[in-house]
Amino acid sequence: MSALVPLPVLLPLLAAAFSLAVGHFATVQRVLNLLVLSGIVVVAALLLARADGSGPVVLQLGGYAPPFGITLVADRLSALLLLVSISVMLAVLVFAIGQRITDQGRASTSTAFHPMYLVLSAGVSLAYLTGDLFNLFVAFEVMLSASYVLIARRTNAERVRPSMTYVIVSLTSSLLFLTMVAVVYTATGTVNLADLAGRIALLPDGARAGLALLMAVVFGIKSAVVPLHFWLPDSYPTAPAPVTAVFAALLTKVAVYALIRTQTLLFGDATSGTFLLVVALLTMLVGALGAIAQNDLNRLLSFLLVSHIGYMVFGLGLFTEIGLSGVILYVVHHIAVQGALFLVGGLVIRHAGTPSLRHMRGLARSYPLVAVLFAIPALNLAGIPPFSGFVAKVVLLRAGAEAATPLAYVVTAAAVATSFLTLFALSKVWVGSFWGEPAPAVPDVDPTDDVTVGTGESSRPMLAATGGLVLAGLVFAALAGPLSGVSERAAHDLLDQGPYRAAVLGEARAAP
């Protein structure tokens, strides 16, 4: 089974190289991409079944003994998130293939799109599976390199500034990340996460607190927590709908995963708990209030994305088993629901011809299916029962109540308030876009492309892909019992470092 662990990284990288070689055969590129991502979904499902039944699946690349070689680890958490993430990437790919033209007049396919999409999936997979801090940095760089191409391809002067903001912030955070790796290696002599868990515990309290804060800031930038969120609402809305959807669904969640993994495995005694709870409070409220103030549909959804990262940081900041279980449930739910909302946003903009809420109305009458596809994930994101968002939020609210500290109570109350603010923001979209008499479409012609948006055309693959992600949110709610069981076991693993360290280092080296 360990031979399966590198496949989610190797297969898309090899396929990306082949895809570039056959760049003039668009059909070959599409079929190859679909087959590779489908294969990774199967591999991730097998790894999850094995990790949940028998413990982490570990591969030491090159046969080097840990902690000196490169280690890949598939435990319950990483395998679960890998399965959900690549499934969402597969659905978004179907949408992109069916779209043909993207929002605001840019072509959806080119020689670079499919290879870069495969490279992005390889980076996501490596981030989940890597067992050392340096290769986590490499995984983020692989993701970012692909995202630079996807977010800026065939852009025009109007979209250069937001794209450059994304690139500059990403490069700055990467420099800080690399500095962090150097500091950690200087202080401990290793970057292997399992080995670090033992060595960091021997550092003075001040040094441990400083490293915990540094890691929180690095991954806080990449996950767009307040006040480090400023880049996201400006950058994401400039990309085509499928690119924005996959960025919103995955890139911030990979950073949240890295935050969860490092804070629990390396600093399991809640060293940064208070700091994370304050950050969660600010992120939830500032993001939700920012969403309410927006008139652009994509910017509104981007601020809601920021806001709901706060829920994940909230559960992590509690450092309890039930809190971490709620975080895992919320990440799984949010990957699918946020991706679905951005895809629906792409459909809405495609039909209306503009992202401006002031120029939309009556879409429910003209396109009732799109209205349904928007309403379900909107209610899900707001945490209305019986959707998966409600299940995850109940677990987080229970964790906050059981923590029984003044700060935990305040953040719990903020979480409830944020749910109402989210519902209000999405109701604003519903009233502005879907109610009333239909408005004439506002064509948007890009000077670099001879295509027009606002035609009301949506292909079956686009609708099927969006419907699949909307349905995933309903399936997560229906499978709340089994999912809760997996999340609880994964949360227990996060707090009990022994099994992870023993699987990577062996029983003798992992012993305290």
Count of Cβ atoms closer than 10 Å to residue 176 Cβ:
15
For strand 71-74 and strand 444-445, is the pairing parallel, antiparallel, or unpaired?
unpaired
Dihedral over Cα of 499, 255, 394, 318: its sign:
positive
Inter-axis angle of helices 273-292 and 297-318, nearest 10: 160
List phi, psi (to 5°) of 247.
-65, -50
The whole domain housing 17 covers 2-238+245-439+459-510
Tell me whether residue 446 is in a domain: no
Q: E-assigned strands of 433-473?
A: 444-445, 452-453
- The reported pLDDT for the residue numbered 104 is 44
Tell me whether residue 320 is in a domain: yes
Tell me whether residue 449 is in a domain: no
Dihedral over Cα of 12, 219, 309, 435: its sign:
negative
Tell me whether residue 249 is in a domain: yes
Tell me whether residue 447 is in a domain: no
- The reported pLDDT for the residue numbered 102 is 45
Give me the amino acid identity at 265.
Answer: L
Each residue of 334-371: pLDDT tens digit? 999 999 999 998 888 887 777 878 777 777 777 888 88
Tell me whether residue 451 is in a domain: no
Distance CA 382, CA 25 (A): 43
- The reported pLDDT for the residue numbered 333 is 92
- The reported pLDDT for the residue numbered 283 is 94
- The reported pLDDT for the residue numbered 270 is 62
Among residues 361, 220, 341, the alpha carbon closest in space to that of 291 is found at 341
Distance CA 342, CA 381 (A): 12
- Which letter does DSSP use for residue 248 in this model? I
Number of domains in the chain: 1
Distance CA 279, CA 285 (A): 10
Q: E-assigned strands of 236-296?
A: none
Tell me whether residue 485 is in a domain: yes
Tell me whether residue 312 is in a domain: yes
- Parts of the chain with a pLDDT under 50: 101-108, 442-455, 508
Query: Do the Cβ atoms of 416 and 281 come closer than 8 Å?
Result: no
